[in-house]
Amino acid sequence: MSNTTLLAVNGTLMRGLELNPNLTKVGGKFIREDKTDLHYRLWSINDVHPAMIRTLEENYSVDLEIWQLPMEAFAAVLSNEPAGLSIGKVILADGSEVLGVLGEPWLVEGQREITTTGGWRAYTKTMMATA
């Protein structure tokens, strides 16, 4: 049994963003940038963080980062995530599966869908450009 796991992140846990220290301070290691397959949608939750949900219909892929975490640190990272975010399996563009941060359906109700931007970084750049 491996003592590490891969985690796909799609928002504020990514490199250089506000919650990234939650990964780095527990020994998380950046592996690569990646994308989901075409069955995901993304919402901005009050412009604070995103929430990604897998759907049946083909939509768009969402930009991700893949991180390697020590198993003993996994719970610490999850306990610091905002309410309504959870861990599930995320299917990557190449068809492989990793654990990843997903939003619960109730969380996205009434929120702005940002799927067409491609990801949280692209969306926050558009927010800064219009501010």
Average pLDDT over residues 114-119: 95
pTM of the complete model: 0.93
pLDDT band, very low/low/confident/very high, at 126 (cuts 50, 70, 90): confident
pLDDT at residue 1 is higher than 60: no
- The structural domain count of the chain equals 1
Which of 33-57 are b and which e, b meaning 16 or more Cβ less than 10 Å from the residue's Cβ? ebbbbebbbbbbbeeebbbbbbeee
pLDDT tens, residue by residue, 6-40: 999 999 999 999 999 999 999 999 999 999 999 99
Q: Say what percent of the chain tops pLDDT 70.
A: 98
pLDDT band, very low/low/confident/very high, at 78 (cuts 50, 70, 90): confident
Question: What does the alpha-carbon distance between residue 122 and residue 89 come to, in Å, rounded to a whole number?
Answer: 23
**Burial class (CB within 10 angstroms; exposed 0-12, middle 13-18, buried 19+) of 85:** buried
Give me the CATH number covering residue 98: 3.10.490.10
Could you list the residue range(s) of the whole structural domain that residue 70 is in?
Answer: 4-130
Average pLDDT over residues 65-73: 95
Q: Answer whether 83's CB lies under 8 Å from 49's CB.
A: no
